Amino acid sequence: QITLKESGPTLVKPTQTLTLTCTFSGFSLITSGVGVGWIRLPPGKALEWLALIYWDDDKRYSPSLRSRLTITKDTSKNQVVLTMTNMDPVDTATYFCTHSRVPPYSHYGVDVWGQGTTVTVSS
């Protein structure tokens, strides 16, 4: 059974850097076709895709947030870390860690989600 769990601060101040950790089980991020990513849901707004890291260490970022995001993996710890710099109140959201795969190993689409962690940006 695949599970993912997000951890990190619930409150950050404007201009600070947010570091979120996704700890997962039930799969390995060295398995071909696997990706772990981050998606957020601001209150009252739409889902926003942030970043993805794949089994081969390929990394993809949202074009609008690319300059502020870094995604890394630690396969020995089964963890993926997302950092977001220069936080602003508009970054207040629930942040989800996700598991997905890519063709030809499987189909696109997030098949497993973490429970989400709420981050508030306020002074």
**Contact positions vs another protein (CB under 8 A):** 35, 37, 39, 41, 46-49, 52, 60, 62-63, 96, 100, 102, 107-111, 113-116
**Is 68 in a helix, a strand, or coil?**
helix
What residues have CB less than 8 Å from 27, skipping those under 6 apart?
2, 34, 99
Picking from 38, 36, 77, the residue whose alpha carbon sits closest to that of residue 58 is 36
Query: Measured from the CB atom, is 19 or 65 closer to another protein?
Result: 65
Closest approach of Cβ 106 to another protein, in Å?
A: 9
- Residue 85: CB minimum distance to another protein, A: 21
Comparing CB distances to another protein, the nearer of 19 and 60 is 60
Nearer to another protein, 2 or 14 (CB): 2
Give me the least distance between CB of 62 and another protein, in Å please.
Answer: 7
Q: How far is the CB of 46 from another protein (least distance, A)?
A: 4
CA-based max dimension of the chain? 46
As a whole number of angstroms, the distance between CA 57 and CA 30 comes to 9
